[in-house]
Structure 1
């Protein structure tokens, strides 16, 4: 088959076919260009139409001499709290989506902030390595006293690569209500080589929470979800691939006989006492056998308490599979 000699997308080729009648000519050109644009989009596997807008970003750097407008590293906010306030100011609950999907990027350093609010519909990202306990090569939120994060609720919030620490006998991260929340590659810790701090991550009412690839250290209890008032639930949780060490009471604990537990899974975590004797690895006091516990490594005096039906493949005490 001979290759066509004419360029079927050229204006001259179309003019030769339809003549110089302006309306017909312009229509043919537009049709040809639209068709070729559509074919190109299929070939390149690109969506037809305008590109999606870039995600809105805000920036925080504690080394700023003064806070800027937060739209670049050169104009960054000086505190995390300022960025959270600015992000929440963009919310329009009557719109869909109700938040623009802001990312808050936080520069390296130890931030002595006690956060009392979190951004809704937003992602907070720490730069560097959250597992650097000194906060020299990562982002650490460590107030001079009290809880690092103490909020009533967090909704559609993602927190990635941030180290949360406390200095006394308090919870590290306390969010009473959590809906559609992700914690990924974070650290929750109390004072080193002690179990002075009470709980790493605490909530009373929560739906669709994922805790993944995080460290819980120097605590009485790593993760705790406890019934507080009527209607409290723990539904669609996923706790997977986390590291719990130097913990005394329980790695993961949830309960209160009225707490509704549904469709939740605790999967492939390492839970042990480290420098402490751990009393219970996973402690379910809810009386609701609806949490799956699979493939965890647990070294504790009482490995799994209160869960008996949805259990399998857990490596207990360094010697047995349960």
Structure 2
């Protein structure tokens, strides 16, 4: 998914051709910032159809009808000051994303697979950073959010297989590409971890920007190279990943979908890139959901509501400052 961010460096930003319809509408501050070009996959743009989705709130699928009607009443409108903070965060994310895209576009304007390799090497990094900070919060007794850890690990697992596919396609053949990708990834890790510690909302929005760019990049690549890709065989790693027997982690990162509703078929390289593109759209929706504190839930957790081993929090916190403040005024997280 950082791939996303930099991936749009491949091609100019394009509008998508299919509607990204879904019942999944996270409780974010979308209406106040419709002018921000950023990363949002807007409801009335051309998008990818993603069906069998969960409601935006952390309710079970059976509650979807009532959830959609009551969501606006559940979350109070942000204050003018908070709106200003969000706008600054999003503007910074957009500027940073566009700047890196221009740099990578200059370096990889005619080497698609090498560019994809660099981007997918970087793509896993935000999820590592998220999990690192979440583990730190858990160690301090501030947060205990099993669903967040599960979903972010599943996202990193998905991005790792994107990387393995690009390696099998020869994207890592030149030492310079490996050197560049690995060192950017190190810097990107610490930057994302710091951003996530200060403002999870900002970090998730930045990742949404990245994933949106990734979707657009792969979508453009498919449209321009589709006929050639259909003549080429699919890498073995892609066949094993998308058509394997154990797809628990594949379902886990798609938080807007009911498990077992998306089962790709891989017959050629075109199908591989088509599924990578759709993976990026799912990452984007998950990152959008995460921008509302406590809004993320594992797709498999809906079937585990009665499992007493599920970890929950008495009270959440946003960012390290809020966590420190609440740690001296509230009880630590408990396993109920």
Normalised-by-shorter TM-score class: under 0.3
Q: TM-score, normalised to structure 1's length?
A: 0.21
Q: TM-score, normalised to structure 2's length?
A: 0.20
Pair member with larger Rg: 1
Higher strand share: 1
Higher normalized contact order (CA 8 Å, seq sep 6+, divided by chain length): 2
Higher helix share: 2
